[in-house]
Chains A and B, each alone.
Chain A
Amino acid sequence: MIEVRGLTKRFGETLAVDQLSFQVQPGIVTGFLGPNGSGKSTTMRMIMGLDNPTAGAATVNGKDYRELSAPMHEVGALLDAKAVHGGMTAEQHLRWVARAGKVSPGRVPAVLELVGLEKVADRRTGGFSLGMMQRLGIATALLGDPKVLMFDEPVNGLDPEGIRWVRNLLKQLASEGRTVFVSSHLMSEMEATAEHVIVIGRGRLIADGSIEALTQGSTDSYVRVVTPKANEFAGVLEEEGGRIRREDGALLVRDLGAPAIGELAAARGIALHELSPHRARLEAAFFELTRDSVEYQSREDGASPDDVAVTAAALAQEEETR
């Protein structure tokens, strides 16, 4: 388990992390979301004992990381996939890390195979693609077979096949009872991978809950109701606590579930032509949550059109231009 209490980090003028408190539980994948510069990486570095908190504390399995006697057996992290010496081969890289953490050298071929790099074990990492670097970073995190795993943007640079592979790996690691904490910009990816998400903005905690709970609160989660007696039924629903928007003659109802709406219609003898629940995409919920805490408003022109890398910044920009 990872626990963060009142964690704060100031770099000169910048308050990178601001009184952050949360827990990351074992057995599930927990996503860590936030716009660019919101403090995700800084938080992870503090958990790993690399940066000193200005205030507060982060513990892993109840201990300060720097006090763990065999840290690599307890925690594995991928913080920066590019942080590898280009002149070393994949195997040489893993070997020195294994030695430093007193991990059995037999784990080196095992993790290489696990991430699918066994065929390039003897190649210098300087010639690796970003995707191969990510795999090597994941292999490094898994070396000590730790119960707690942390990945900073692990799908960065991976192709769709690679993304699916990481998703399955994360889920499997969690299903084995491990604590899996993963940051990402890929909202749709988090939606498909994480059960629980922690959202931060400008270093502050914005939301901490299951994806289910988060998306339910979004204005984009509603039940679409089509009925010939729209005006009458709208009154009924509002009385029962529903909030209503109209769209092309349909009622978009929030705060009431489809079953309750159906029951109400039946009780009043109102015919329904359509009753369809619509759950917000995490993306929409995320944007609503971080709307006020977006750090950089630049548009990501290089982003590919489909479903990939929708950052909060890009989202915000889109929303503004509408």
Chain B
Amino acid sequence: MSSVATRNGTQAQAAAGPGFTDTLAAEWAKLRTWRAIRWSFALAIVLSIAMSALLGLVIGATYDDWPASEQAQFDPILYPMNGIVASLIGFAVLGVMAVTPEYGNGLVRLTFTATPRRSRVVLAKVLIVTALTLVGGMASAFGMYFAGQAVFSTADLPTESVFTGDAMRAVLSIGLLMPVFPLLGLAIGFLTRSTAAGITGVLVLLWAPEIFGPLLPGWWQENVVSLLPGPAGDSVIIGHLVDSRTFSDPAVGALIVAAWLVGAIALSVAMVRRRDA
């Protein structure tokens, strides 16, 4: 063995420290190889579209037997969007899994020795999760919509072009807002440092208002449940199609969502910097 490590580059080059783009590239190189990330990404898209198509088939097959009152309620924009359940869960899990596995196996210590400025690591993960779930959310939203319309048209049901204002607002905002729960999942992951706690936490945040909200007195629905990220986001996505006491004005809804995201990410950064790794 000659020399253990030959110096490559000059001392000046060696001293140049990594910047945020290096952290971002490193996090991407790391996360893209993780199976949990790949699976949750793929399943979120595929299952949401498949669910919408399947539901469309069921509706198409049974529509003629519906009572007239229910037939009148058929909405070609809303119905294809039911597959969103799968994409919401899948992408929320992706957000958690971008963080917690590292805490599980101790790899996070290597991450933070390579990048002692821990806020950079958090922000790099935020960007990656946002990008993935934005792209995946759009694919999911348009996929569900087109699959739904295709099935409806073969069943001779009413359809609606995606280019109408109502449809476009719903489909686009599903995609645009898809990163919300993954980012909250990421933050809960950083705070709990546990996969089980992270996934449980984000799913409770996601579904609690849906399940328990309607059971609460009106005042609570209007003033408390409406402040949760789910109802706030829904008032942007389907506020123009559906009425709910938990919905806000869409602009207010967007602000509430933004406040949740800023708060969750800021809290993550603060905790990650303060705590032992």
Residues of A within 8 A of B (CB): 45, 48-52, 65-73, 75, 77, 79-80, 82-89, 92, 95-97, 99-102, 104, 106-107, 110-111, 114, 140, 142, 144-145, 168-169, 172-173, 176
Whole-angstrom distance between the alpha carbons of A176 and B34 in the complex?
Answer: 38
Answer whether residue B46 sits at the interface, using C-beta atoms and an 8 A cutoff. Answer: no
Q: Which residues of B contact A86 (CB under 8 A)?
A: 105
Q: Which of A48, A67, A84 contacts B113 (CB 8 A)?
A: A48
CB-CB < 8 A to B114: which residues of A? 71-72, 97, 100-101
Chain A residue contacts of B110, Cβ below 8 A: 79, 83, 97, 140
Chain A residue nearest in CB terms to B118: A66
Flag if B276 contacts A97 (CB, 8 Å): no
The residue among B22, B113, B115 with the most chain A CB atoms within 10 A of its own CB is: B113
Residue B107 CB within 8 A of the other chain = yes
B residues bordering A, Cβ < 8 Å? Answer: 1, 3-9, 14-19, 22-23, 25-27, 29-30, 33-35, 101-102, 105-107, 109-117, 274, 276-277
* B9 cross-chain contacts in A, Cβ below 8 A: 104
The smallest beta-carbon distance between A64 and chain B, in angstroms, is 9
A50–B29 CA distance with the chains assembled, in angstroms = 23
Q: Let me know if A85 and B109 touch, CB within 8 A.
A: no
Given A52-B276, A87-B35, A107-B8, is A70 in contact with B107 using a C-beta cutoff of 8 Å?
no
Q: Do residues A70 and B16 form an inter-chain contact, with CB atoms below 8 A?
A: yes
From known contacts A49-B113, A68-B116, A82-B105, infer whether A96 and B26 are also in contact, taking CB-CB under 8 Å. Answer: yes
Q: Are B105 and A169 in contact (CB under 8 A)?
A: no
Instruction: Contact check, A51 vs B277: say whether CB atoms are below 8 A apart.
Output: yes
- Who on chain A is nearest to B35 by CB? A87
- Tell me if A71 and B16 are in contact (CB < 8 A): no
Contact A88 B33, beta carbon cutoff 8 Å: yes
The answer to whether A92 and B8 touch (CB under 8 A), given A50-B109, A71-B114, A172-B1, is no
Q: Known contacts A73-B14, A99-B29; is A83 also within 8 Å of B106 by CB?
A: yes
Partner of B25, one of A88, A99, A144: A99
Residues of A within 8 A of B102 (CB): 85
B35: chain A residues at CB < 8 Å are 87
Which A residues are in CB contact (< 8 Å) with B33?
Answer: 85, 87-89, 92
For the complex with contacts A80-B106, A83-B109, A102-B19, 9 further pairs of A-B residues with Cβ separation under 8 Å are A70-B14, A71-B113, A71-B116, A72-B114, A83-B110, A142-B5, A145-B7, A169-B4, A172-B1
Q: Is the CB of B106 within 8 A of A100?
A: no
B101 touches A49 (CB 8 A): no
Whether B276 lies near A69 (C-beta < 8 A) is: no
